[in-house]
Structure 1
Amino acid sequence: MLEEEYEQRRRLPRHLRPEATPENPFTYSMREARVTDLPDIREIYNYYVANSTVTFDEDAMTLPEWRDKFYYLGKHGMPFIVAESPAGQILGYALVAPWKQKRAFRFTVENSIYLGAASTGKGLGRQLLAELIARSKTAGLKEIIAVIADQGADASIKLHRDFGFEEIGRMGKVGFKFERWLGTVLMQKSLK
């Protein structure tokens, strides 16, 4: 399925969309992820696994896999944040993870940002990325890599470009999902 088709399928009819109005503003706070957030985080991520090419994962992540990832990132001091509605609903999340396992790469990370379907198009991804960059600097990290699908992810490429990420390369036909070959765009930002 093309990313554009995914976007169209995922959108609710205008009269059913939760619009931000003066009486109903789109408000949220950001905080460190907690282990109790993982079921919601898993739900958000697995939606993209099943319906898009923004992740090359083909199998839904389990709660034990998310717990392992959560504790691994915490052990390494990696930022992992959520955006939460005033009612306590997780609207989206952002994290960085080690780019490679070799010790020499310890100051280089790869970022991930995922939003719940009702939270897209409201600037939340931009706010999560800004906060993730700030927290990554505070954590002493030096380089952030974004690995973005080369088809249907123009908004993600633009978002990263807006934050000073530069394209450093492309890899073609490195993933196969939904019966088609996919490549990646690699972008990098220095945090010095």
Structure 2
Amino acid sequence: MTAIIRPSEPRDLPELTAIYRHAVLNGTASFEIDPPDEAEMARRRDALLGAGFPYLVAEEDGRIFGYAYAGPYRPRPAYRYTVEDSIYVAPDLQGRGVGRALLSALIEECERLGFRQMIGVIGDSSSTGSIALHRSLGFLNAGVVRDVGYKHGRWLDQVIMQRRLGSGTDGVPGVERSAETA
């Protein structure tokens, strides 16, 4: 797969909405039950971009194969250097490297923006592909929260994975080291 990874644009929303709709209705990556419409997807995207978070797409020959974004891990100010990743890939292209390309680019962009930790919250402990993808890109298992979601007639776990970004917990975020302290 030779998809181009680029920032999302408003023109991508119909395909983003369709990819997410399939994930909501058929999968466990999202604990959402009813898929949002295009207007709601636009609102969510705009809110993330407006808050300074990256929102990327994988495109080839005009087709969007998947998308990934980072958002706040939690709303309290102390979490401001920690992001949560989300990745969705078109169902016919899962397992072909699109997710890896998206997550790699997302990690890079979050490091460039100065974030220090990335959390992967994987819906369902049987999502071995997503768990393996995160592990292959340096995420460590931070724990499993058992039976916290009920979807598709069964209880679902959440697997929490964590990856250091940039200098991680070295130094004070947002403060450049001076020559005197280096």
TM-score, normalization by structure 2: 0.87
Structure 2 residue identity aligned to 1:167: N
Q: Give 1:106 deviation, angstroms.
A: 1.1
Say which SS state the counterpart of residue 101 (structure 1) adopts.
Answer: coil
CA distance in 2, matches of 1:66, 1:31: 18
Counterpart in 2 of 1:187? 161
Say which SS state the counterpart of residue 68 (structure 1) adopts.
Answer: helix
CA distance in 2, matches of 1:149, 1:31: 26
Segments of 5+ residues of structure 1 without an aligned counterpart are 1-25
Q: Which structure is higher in helix share?
A: 1
How many residue pairs were aligned?
166
TM-score, normalization by structure 1: 0.83
Counterpart in 1 of 2:51? 76
Structure 1 residue identity aligned to 2:44: K
Pairing 1:55–2:23 present: no
Pairing 1:112–2:86 present: yes
Segments of 5+ residues of structure 2 without an aligned counterpart are 168-182
Following superposition of structure 1 onto structure 2, how do residues 118-129 of structure 1 map, counting pairs within 5 Å?
118-129=92-103
Q: Displaced runs of 4+ in structure 1, greater than 6 A?
A: none
Q: Give 1:149 deviation, angstroms.
A: 2.4
Say which SS state the counterpart of residue 118 (structure 1) adopts.
Answer: helix
Work out whether residues 125 and 159 of structure 2, in 8 Å CA contact, stay in contact via their aligned partners in 1: no
Q: Give 1:137 deviation, angstroms.
A: 0.4
Following superposition of structure 1 onto structure 2, how do residues 81-92 of structure 1 map, counting pairs within 5 Å?
81-86=56-61, 88-92=62-66
State the percentage of identical aligned residues: 39
Counterpart in 2 of 1:136? 110
Work out whether residues 123 and 159 of structure 2, in 8 Å CA contact, stay in contact via their aligned partners in 1: yes
Counterpart in 2 of 1:16? none
